[in-house]
Structure 1
């Protein structure tokens, strides 16, 4: 696959980073272990590399999968996810957030939470919409790709600590995992009224243990590394995920859906 006159490997990585087949096996194993016989699911889907890779894994496992995207009508996530879902030929459902209803709905979610972390509140709002979309489509299990950014240095701030060395990076990974596990518990509480099970296969203890064994240079290569998660991008390339997904920079759910932008405007 090429992008312009350059091979996509050159664009993404600059040099070859080998991926390990053990990690691919672990991706399939953790999804299988977490589903334990469940064969009809939804996936919280933005069209980004994490949710698209999860979607392809489930498709390859012949799991009955529906991609679920939420956002405001003019959000990037909705338009991009529609394009990618067509390219990977998977069932896709969209919930467009009504701006007039958003204020009341988001305040209700916020008031039910004891946490005052803005990012956590916005994520709980987003997943409450995902839960509604799932229920409307006869689904009671939703998978997310949470964990990849934490385990494989997906966040931009990993660039700023890169020169502090591997120990600092690994401690930051551990801190971000703890924060993500806390967020997941809050999300589960926010959606329990919908009788929806939220499953995060890449935050299982077994997968975390495996991911932490991979060297930092498979994840981030410099302080100006704008893509990061190289080993995941390399695996995604082997899954024939569209190139525009593989080279797309991270945009968190609350930003890609425009929930953050609209939440700031309410009292």
Structure 2
């Protein structure tokens, strides 16, 4: 990590502050390995390492013989791992809700994007990626197969934002998806259907971005987890996919899954040759989101209410309020991987047939 981030991380260790104002960090610090509370960057250590040497750790697991991921919010030193930070759980704050979210987003996207060279934006037309596009003088990329709704949404939003000339559509073929399945499974170190189907469109977009000469890709990751974008959060406590009996509690359960998701996504994108940039996961945005009352996460069926109202400062209403499918469905990649699995003889009546197909490709 650079000197500025290292100093902030050092102070955060001393104070116990889990959100000290960075956009994530991981790596060596004063003879220790550290990883921020949300796991926004990656750091691996050799499983049997007893001391920190230059060849005992890496940001890339492929550099090590037996890589072990440092858990989010933890410190590794001399073969021992301990928790340094936990995500705070502040009380709800109903004062200046939209303004606080808007200010945090503006600061985060400005700080993250303004000085990033060779930047592209992953743009599916929803409020998350549109917020980045509104603040980035960079091309916008969307990937989809056939009549994918992500491509349609991206075109409509780009038109509304007067950015149509900046939109680059990655038209995926079945051959593209088929060839990428083993590459992505190896890149993320997972073969389960859901992880592979989510990582595939990210990898394919990042591959096109790299081919076009860009080395940073801005993504709206984290917005759904922070601001209440999931149906299971909106439906709490009546959704059996969460244990919480409130929307805020369900949001916290979902937030706990972020480090695992981010490892998958970061590995997929880096394998394609670009570096992910995630402004909506910067500490100030996280702090603002954590204080949101339940009715500002979801109200009257509207998910991500605070984020959408804050976005009205920069986006047309039709973009700020657009509903979208998850990337694996909006791109139609999940559907086509399922088709490939069935064509290869892995029928739906088989248990977890897509995972078995992925494993057969390795």
Same fold judged by TM-score > 0.5?
A: yes
Equivalent residues of 1:143, 1:198 under 8 A apart: yes
CA distance in 2, matches of 1:168, 1:240: 30
Q: Structure 2 matches for 1:82-101, cutoff 5 A? A: 82-90=155-163, 91-101=166-176
CA distance in 2, matches of 1:182, 1:215: 26
What is the TM-score of this pair, normalised by structure 1? 0.81
Report the equivalent of 1:237.
312
Equivalent residues of 2:123, 2:140 under 8 A apart: yes
Report the equivalent of 2:143.
70
Which of the residues 255, 262, 276 maps onto 1:198?
Answer: 276
The answer to whether residue 296 in structure 2 is matched with residue 218 in structure 1 is yes
CA distance in 1, matches of 2:292, 2:314: 20
Which of the residues 246, 260, 265 maps onto 2:334?
Answer: 260
The answer to whether residue 218 in structure 2 is matched with residue 140 in structure 1 is no
Q: Structure 2 matches for 1:1-267, cutoff 5 A? A: 19-35=97-113, 37-56=115-134, 58=135, 63-90=136-163, 91-162=166-237, 168-222=246-300, 225=301, 227-241=302-316, 243-267=317-341
CA distance in 1, matches of 2:192, 2:272: 23
CA distance in 2, matches of 1:184, 1:240: 27
Unaligned stretches of 5+ in structure 1?
1-16
CA distance in 2, matches of 1:114, 1:193: 12
Equivalent residues of 1:181, 1:203 under 8 A apart: no
SS in 2 for 1:238: coil
Structure with the greater alpha carbon radius of gyration:
2
CA deviations 1:81-115 (Å, max 9, x no partner) are 12221221221111111112321222331244333
- Structure 1 residues 100 and 216, CA gap change in structure 2 (3 angstroms): same
**CA apart distance, 1:75:** 0.8
SS in 2 for 1:266: helix
> Which shows bigger deviation, 198-207 or 68-77?
198-207
**CA apart distance, 1:40:** 4.1
SS in 2 for 1:94: strand
Equivalent residues of 1:158, 1:169 under 8 A apart: yes
Equivalent residues of 1:109, 1:124 under 8 A apart: yes
- Structure 1 residues 94 and 134, CA gap change in structure 2 (3 angstroms): same
**CA apart distance, 1:37:** 2.1
CA distance in 2, matches of 1:113, 1:163: 33
Equivalent residues of 2:101, 2:285 under 8 A apart: no
Report the equivalent of 1:8.
none
**CA apart distance, 1:174:** 2.6
CA distance in 2, matches of 1:99, 1:263: 9
> Which shows bigger deviation, 30-39 or 174-183?
30-39
- Structure 1 residues 140 and 111, CA gap change in structure 2 (3 angstroms): closer
